[in-house]
Amino acid sequence: MRIGTAMPTDEELAEARHHFVANLSVKDYYSIGQYEVDALKKLDEIFAEKDIAIMVGGSGMYEKAVVEGMNNLPEANAENQQKLLSLWENDGLEALQKLLEELDPNYFSIVDKDNPRRLLRAIDIIWQTGKTYTENLSSPKEKRSFETIRIGIDAPREVIYERINLRVDKMIENGLLEEARGLITDRDKVALQTVGYSELFRYFDGEWNLDFAIDEIKKNSRRYAKRQITWNKKLENVNWLNYDNSMQEALSLLSNLPM
């Protein structure tokens, strides 16, 4: 999934030591809770030798898990999962979205609504605990042994959307169509029920033409970016940098942050 996930290039990977890049198969089950465990273990290794580690990425829940910690949530309930999977298969993703919106409108407003795993997990937890997912996430967590400095790059929404459109065109040019075609046999895996792949699978099925599928990738990517913006704006203590700052200007601003 190198192209569809915008994996760093070989040149970028050579510039600095990266972790958790191309470390999983689409067939592997993985969760935010497991990432928290793995990331904290890796941070212990890094901090044994260095004072600073840099975490980058787009998924707010994964960042939150490392920085603030996850709550002591129950493991997935097999019976609940089967009910929800049946609901999804019979009535579509919209049924899961509607159910979560009814159960927890606050979490629904920030969750990646096109990610069935997030929807399934949240509803399962609500059913098991009798509390909203938001309430479960707000309970006290174990304090981290490291300090966190959040840095955000801010840009006007029209600039972000324009770059998304150009990025999708570049992905198509770089071979996203061929990459997705090679993954058809694993299309039922959660990792492939995501933006960029699910739209192309509908093209391969003859449901959409290619131009429409590409337009849908752009539209769904913009929707995802909008939710990311909403999530990030709610975070506390973010040091915002303007996207068109020069490198020198950005570094001068960052040099004043407490380290």
Residues 70-113 have pLDDT tens digits of 777 888 888 998 999 999 989 999 999 999 999 999 999 988 88
pLDDT of residue 231: 87
Question: What average pLDDT does this structure show over 152-175?
Answer: 96
- The secondary structure element, H or E, covering residue 32 is helix 32-47
Domains in the chain: how many in total?
2
The answer on 208 and 185 residing in a single domain is yes
Half-sphere exposure in the Cβ direction for 64 (13 Å, CA): 15
Question: pTM of the prediction?
Answer: 0.75
Q: Is residue 121 part of a domain?
A: yes
Band the pLDDT of 259: cuts 50, 70, 90: low
**CATH assignment at residue 182:** 1.10.287.890
Q: Is residue 34 part of a domain?
A: no
pLDDT of residue 112: 85
* Domain membership of residue 188 as a residue range: 151-259
Q: Is residue 15 part of a domain?
A: no
At residue 240, the 3 state secondary structure works out as strand
Q: Is residue 194 part of a domain?
A: yes
The answer on 175 and 125 residing in a single domain is no
The answer on 246 and 169 residing in a single domain is yes
Query: Does the pLDDT value for residue 149 go beyond 80?
Result: yes
- The secondary structure element, H or E, covering residue 150 is strand 150-154
Contacts of 24 (CB under 8 A, 6+ apart): 30
The structure tokens 């061929």 sit at 178
Q: Is residue 99 part of a domain?
A: yes
Q: Is residue 209 part of a domain?
A: yes
pLDDT of residue 38: 95
At residue 126, the 3 state secondary structure works out as helix
Query: pLDDT tens, 118-147?
Result: 899 999 999 999 999 999 887 777 789 999
For residues 152 and 241, is the Cβ–Cβ distance under 8 A? yes
